[in-house]
Amino acid sequence: MNRMHSHPARLLLRLLPPRLAACLAIAVLSLSLSAQNAGQAINLPTSKQIVQPVPGSPARLNSLPMGTAWSPDGRYLALVNAGYGTPDSDYSQSIAILDTTTGKLADFPDQRTLVGASQTMYSGVAFSLDGSHVYVSFDSLSAPEGGTPTQTGNAIAVYSLTDGALKPGRLIPVPLQHLAAGRTQNEVGKPLPDGVANPLPTGLAVFKGDDGQEKLLVADEFSDDVLLVDPASGKVLTRFDLASHPVVPSSYPIAIAVTRDGHRAFVALWNESAVAELDLRAGKITGKVALLPASSEILPSSHPCAMAFSPDEKTLYVALANRDAIAAVSLGGKNMRLVRLYDSRLPGQRYFGAMPDAVAVSSDGQTLYAANSGSDAIAVFRTKPASQVGAPEQAVGFIPTEWYPSAMTVKGDKLYVATGKGQGTGPNVAPQPEPAHPVANQPARTQRPHTYIATLLHGSLATIDRNEAQKDLPELTRQVMASNLMQAAQTHIPFAESSSNPSGSNPIHHVIYIIKENRTYDQIFGDLEAGSHKVGDGDSSLTMYGAAVTPNLHKLALQFGVLDNFYDSGEVSGDGHVWSTAGITSDYTERDWQQSYRGRERTYDFEGVVQNGYPIQEKIPDINEPASGYLWTDLAKNGKTLYHFGEFVSTKFCDDSGEAPKEKSPLEGTPEPTHFCPTAYIKPGEDVPANYGGGKSPYPWNIPLIYRNVATKPELEGNFDPQYPDFNLSFPDQLRVNEFLTHFNSWVEERKAGHDNMPAFVMLRLPNDHTAGTRPGSPTPRASVADNDLAVGRAVEAIANSPYWDDTAFFILEDDAQDGADHVDAHRSIALVVSKYSPRAADPTVDHNFYTTVSVLHTMEDLLGIPPMNNNDAFAPLIAPLFAGEGNQPAYTADYTNRDNKLIYTANVAKAEGAKESSKMDFTHEDRADPRKLNVILWKDAMGSKPVPAMILHPHTPHKDDDDD
């Protein structure tokens, strides 16, 4: 993600026919890679870096390798690539096979997992005892028992292996599970009878039973159990019920390890902060050992997610991704016992953020490795004898990796490290090739309207010589420290001494944070100019919602500062809202969002709603929550006041539209009816409630009313607006900002009376720039974006013309940039920092420094005087240049053009471009509408007859030799 300036060849790419441009792109972009290999750093949207070259000569994989398995003879290493799917792998998930005798790495896509399929791979992969077959877990929410020839249902897929080549074979069905009395599963996927649960198999293990026959253990993540299966017949021999709560899942079994004698098995319980032991001969659960559980039942769990035995099987090492630790569990006595902890954080690291999600042990048992997904490094430990738990052991050094190490294993003197995101993304500036092996009836989803960001995320596999790494460990550790910015000086934002701030001290006491939806920099600011002069690094040929549609965003940028090298940390809304509020994600988020977005085989488990339920009400940890919590956690801990308008607040609308679970949590009793209010809508021409602005509704569509709001995090209870909705594109942002101003006006009156009662931190969700496509009767895309633009302008205008202008700063960004093209990078987006302390000059201020979402969080924390949440925001660059003024910025005046010309009130007509396709799209959640189709519709709506650019119709996905970051 190094800053990419316009290059003549890049401009030429957009003028050439797609296929010719693709060929030229490989040559052009490979030049950038050569420069990177010379030692340049690749900036990542996490605010960290990859310093080239990375040890082990990483080879490119399909997306998100999540599990590994060795053939019994140690020749073949299998990796399950369970992410979104890349063109190289035909937009399917795949199994990669590394032949360690020849070094050949082969990829075997499975067309049954083509994007949009009714099933998805996950983490489970294992070899048969004779090495002739590979088992892989398949999950399905939409068709859990299969049905059509293309639907596998929940199953274990069996592949034959011959001379390193895989061939798909039979399926071993994983049946629906019958729960114990008093337990129930929220409705996920296809509706099921009460007391029946969809299993979703994950971790796998193979062993020889006492009868000499091969047996298979299957961890069912969604039904909280482990199944002992006869793989020959497919019969379930024993079910181990690991549920510990009335709502299933709550424990989330994720990984299994079996002793060589086949008598004992150990199960990592991802959300229970524990490992369970199974007696395989007796068919019983013999115990659990707690591993750094939280002090409260709703606080984040420790996330045991991967395990490895010591060679003598007397110790089990467990990666605790949400505690930055590896737990050593003694297996020698009658009961399991936690005997030692290994701290996977970097030297001097004070804050959470290492996130080890894989673990491996050398064959002599003396060296322990932990794959730190959060610090892009392998922690190296010297193992210690079992003892009582004392001070955690520190790593002796670190080995750098590419972005997000997600799986790891050791064999002999080689350490094999797979990363989930490789070298990151690049610009969407060249045509996208066809799938490597096109098939008949290729899904329309693969005809991408731009380089969809998930398809840019290739994994990688490094083969690291352990002896060489050991010799170079001090230098490799220095590289890791540098790439994590650990040597960056800790500073604060300096303010100028001026007549309005004589002391030069920090005058900011209030921060207002606005989160919008899904736009790139070029989509909005590609046309940014002052007079006739271009401002910032934009490409106007990609601008869909320029100054005519977003006059306020343009005016704000030109007055208060342009950030043209800013990148959203998240790829999609699922992880984007976590990054935007936590400055980090959890290992669960990273493992799940790609499956959720490629189809419907994982639930949308974000913003405090998990498995279509509320963990806070179910009294279980939110498995999606990182250990360091969210910005409001930090604020509350440090005595700062806060108030939320719509973010991490789940709205149940009167017509049951929107994101909230359609059924109540089972613990709350019977489901609610479909309609909950005497009046479900504000209809066109009807009275608008006073808090939403009053008068008659000028909107030609029904506006849904709120039945209730639920705060999904404890710190938000009592600190959110019950009348402010979350994501629903039929609810105008003008009404949202009117509701905010109802509160703000009261704070102004109180301040005039000498009482500053506005909270230190105010969060506003303004989502309508997402748009609802051209669905008939809904607001047009231009209306939605203009509505959003005016809402932002009015919010700033209100504060700027009040007593709060002296001590308030705005931070405004998109949660992600997935829904548009950008000539610099798929993560690049808009961000605004607004205060009276921005520099004031004749020409607009343009800050070219590299910033990310995490930089925004760090800057807000610094202004409010609270510590960082984690190791990401602790070292992310501060956006200090936009506070370098003398405090003489004049009050902002909003541009009301698109209200006065009625643009914000226009609805799509039945014959609008793409109306039929838009009608079939799901706009009840962020990103549920297929962005690949939606963006072509939006382009044609916004740009009329102007040809759709190559990067929109035929986006490019870089090859191994043209990763361009």
Q: Over 80: is that where the pLDDT of 443 sits?
A: no
What average pLDDT does this structure show over 684-705? 97
Helix 781-800 vs helix 733-752: crossing angle, to nearest 10:
0
Integer Cα distance of 410 and 372 in angstroms? 16
Number of domains in the chain: 3
What integer pLDDT is reported at residue 223 of this predicted model?
98
In a domain, 681, yes or no: no
Question: What is the pLDDT of the chain when averaged over all its residues?
Answer: 90
One-letter amino acid for residue 879 of the chain: I
What integer pLDDT is reported at residue 122 of this predicted model?
97
In a domain, 808, yes or no: yes
Instruction: Look up residue 301 and give its DSSP letter.
Output: P
What integer pLDDT is reported at residue 490 of this predicted model?
80
One-letter amino acid for residue 171 of the chain: L
Segment among 45-59, 218-232, 412-426, 653-667 with least mean pLDDT: 653-667
Per-residue pLDDT band at 451 (split at 50, 70, 90): confident
The CATH number of residue 931's host domain is 3.40.720.10
What integer pLDDT is reported at residue 664 of this predicted model?
43
What average pLDDT does this structure show over 880-908? 97
What integer pLDDT is reported at residue 742 of this predicted model?
98
What average pLDDT does this structure show over 143-166? 97
Final residue of a structural domain among 483, 501, 521: 483
For 474, the 3-state DSSP assignment is helix
- Do 605 and 750 belong to one domain? yes
Q: Over 50: is that where the pLDDT of 117 sits?
A: yes
Q: What are the pLDDT digits (tens) for 380-408?
A: 999 987 666 788 999 999 999 999 999 99
β pairing state of 304-309 and 284-290: unpaired
DSSP secondary structure of 59-104: EEESS-EEEEEE-TTS-EEEEEE-SS--GGGTTS-EEEEEETTTTE
Segment among 304-318, 536-550, 648-662 with least mean pLDDT: 648-662
Query: What does the radius of gyration of the chain's CA atoms come to, in whole angstroms?
Result: 27
Tokens of 451: 């380089």
Please give the angle made by the CA atoms of 432, 437 and 439, to the nearest 5 degrees.
100
Instruction: Give percent above pLDDT 70 in the chain.
Output: 87
Segment among 260-264, 430-434, 462-466 with least mean pLDDT: 430-434
- Do 746 and 780 belong to one domain? yes
- Do 875 and 761 belong to one domain? yes
Integer Cα distance of 812 and 887 in angstroms? 20
- Do 240 and 256 belong to one domain? yes
What average pLDDT does this structure show over 913-931? 60
- Do 335 and 473 belong to one domain? no
Integer Cα distance of 225 and 377 in angstroms? 33
- Do 234 and 295 belong to one domain? no
Final residue of a structural domain among 376, 400, 424: 400
- Do 152 and 133 belong to one domain? yes
What average pLDDT does this structure show over 858-886? 97
In a domain, 356, yes or no: yes
What average pLDDT does this structure show over 265-271? 98
Q: Within 626-724, where are the H helices? A: 631-637
In a domain, 12, yes or no: no
Tokens of 697: 């509704």
Q: Over 70: is that where the pLDDT of 513 sits?
A: yes
- Do 741 and 857 belong to one domain? yes
- Do 272 and 326 belong to one domain? no
What integer pLDDT is reported at residue 429 of this predicted model?
64
Inter-residue contact 344 to 324 (CB < 8 Å)? yes
β pairing state of 367-372 and 377-382: antiparallel
Please give the angle made by the CA atoms of 278, 279 and 282, to the nearest 5 degrees.
135
In a domain, 663, yes or no: no
What integer pLDDT is reported at residue 537 of this predicted model?
98
Q: Over 50: is that where the pLDDT of 146 sits?
A: yes
Q: Of 371, 491, 447, nearest to 68 (Cα)?
A: 371
Longest pairwise C-alpha distance within the chain:
87
What average pLDDT does this structure show over 270-282? 98
Inter-residue contact 927 to 573 (CB < 8 Å)? yes
β pairing state of 120-127 and 133-139: antiparallel
Q: Of 354, 271, 254, nearest to 307 (Cα)?
A: 254
Q: What are the pLDDT digits (tens) for 355-388?
A: 999 999 999 999 999 999 999 999 999 998 766 6
What integer pLDDT is reported at residue 40 of this predicted model?
82
Q: Over 70: is that where the pLDDT of 532 sits?
A: yes
What integer pLDDT is reported at residue 944 of this predicted model?
64
Helices (H) and strands (E) in the chain — how many of each?
A: 18, 50
Integer Cα distance of 478 and 481 in angstroms? 5
Q: Which region, left, alpha or beta, applies to residue 544 given φ > 0 means left and ψ of -120 to 50 means alpha?
A: alpha
In a domain, 221, yes or no: yes
Per-residue pLDDT band at 946 (split at 50, 70, 90): low
Per-residue pLDDT band at 961 (split at 50, 70, 90): very low
Within its chain, how far is the Cα of 187 from the centroid? Answer: 23
Give strand ranges (E) for 701-748. Answer: 703-704, 706-711
- Do 169 and 240 belong to one domain? yes
How far, in Å, are 516, 791, 793, 802 from residue 797 at the CA level?
18, 10, 6, 9
Residue in this structure with the two tokens 């994007």, named with its chain if needed: 115
Instruction: Give percent above pLDDT 90 in the chain.
Output: 81
The CATH number of residue 245's host domain is 2.130.10
What integer pLDDT is reported at residue 915 of this predicted model?
62
Q: Of 760, 803, 771, nearest to 926 (Cα)?
A: 771
What integer pLDDT is reported at residue 389 of this predicted model?
76
Q: Between 692 and 668, whose confidence is greater?
A: 692
Instruction: Look up residue 720 and give its DSSP letter.
Output: B
In a domain, 236, yes or no: yes
Per-residue pLDDT band at 754 (split at 50, 70, 90): very high
Give strand ranges (E) for 824-943. Answer: 831-834, 846-847, 851-852
Integer Cα distance of 377 and 469 in angstroms? 12
What integer pLDDT is reported at residue 937 of this predicted model?
67
What integer pLDDT is reported at residue 931 of this predicted model?
57
Q: Which domain holds residue 306?
A: 291-400
Integer Cα distance of 950 and 965 in angstroms? 20
Torsion over CA: 542, 547, 550, 555 (sign) = positive
Per-residue pLDDT band at 432 (split at 50, 70, 90): low
Show Cβ contacts of residue 870 under 8 Å, excluding neighbours closer than 6 positions.
Answer: 351, 352, 353, 582, 583, 584, 626, 628
Show Cβ contacts of residue 584 under 8 Å, excluding neighbours closer than 6 positions.
Answer: 352, 353, 355, 374, 578, 626, 628, 869, 870, 872, 873
- Do 283 and 319 belong to one domain? no
Q: Over 60: is that where the pLDDT of 639 sits?
A: yes
What integer pLDDT is reported at residue 655 of this predicted model?
87
The per-residue b/e assignment along 776-790, b for 16 or more CB within 10 angstroms, e otherwise, is eebbbbbbbbbbbbb
Q: What are the pLDDT digits (tens) for 825-837?
A: 999 999 999 999 9
Segment among 5-14, 329-338, 735-744, 894-903 with least mean pLDDT: 5-14
Inter-residue contact 793 to 785 (CB < 8 Å)? no
Q: What are the pLDDT digits (tens) for 12-64?
A: 333 333 333 333 332 333 333 333 344 689 999 999 999 999 999 999 999 99
HEC states along 10-70?
A: HHHHCCCCHHHHHHHHHHHHHHHHHHHHCCCEEECCCCCEEECCCCCCCEEECCCEEEEEE
Integer Cα distance of 869 and 633 in angstroms? 9
DSSP secondary structure of 915-950: HHHHHTS--SSTT-S-HHHHHHHHHHHHHTTSPPPH
Please give the angle made by the CA atoms of 903, 549 and 802, to the nearest 5 degrees.
90
Q: Over 90: is that where the pLDDT of 428 sits?
A: no
Q: Which strand (E) or helix (H) includes residue 469?
A: helix 466-471
Inter-residue contact 717 to 772 (CB < 8 Å)? no
**In terms of C-beta density within 10 A (0-12 exposed, 13-18 middle, 19 or more buried), how is residue 563 classed?**
buried
Q: How many CB atoms lie within 10 A of CB 371?
A: 32
For 618, the 3-state DSSP assignment is helix
Tokens of 180: 């114990």
Q: How many CB atoms lie within 10 A of CB 772?
A: 23
Tokens of 481: 């420290």
Segment among 7-21, 272-286, 342-356, 368-382 with least mean pLDDT: 7-21
The CATH number of residue 373's host domain is 2.130.10.10
What average pLDDT does this structure show over 281-309? 97
Tokens of 362: 């050398």
Within its chain, how far is the Cα of 898 from the centroid? Answer: 34
Final residue of a structural domain among 400, 420, 442: 400
- Do 275 and 300 belong to one domain? no
What integer pLDDT is reported at residue 426 of this predicted model?
87
Tokens of 665: 């949590």
Inter-residue contact 846 to 529 (CB < 8 Å)? no
Q: How many CB atoms lie within 10 A of CB 880?
A: 18
Q: Over 90: is that where the pLDDT of 710 sits?
A: yes
In a domain, 300, yes or no: yes
Inter-residue contact 393 to 341 (CB < 8 Å)? yes
Per-residue pLDDT band at 883 (split at 50, 70, 90): very high
DSSP secondary structure of 232-255: TT--EEEEEE---SSEESSS-EEE
Q: What are the pLDDT digits (tens) for 772-814?
A: 888 899 999 999 999 999 999 999 999 999 999 999 999 999 9
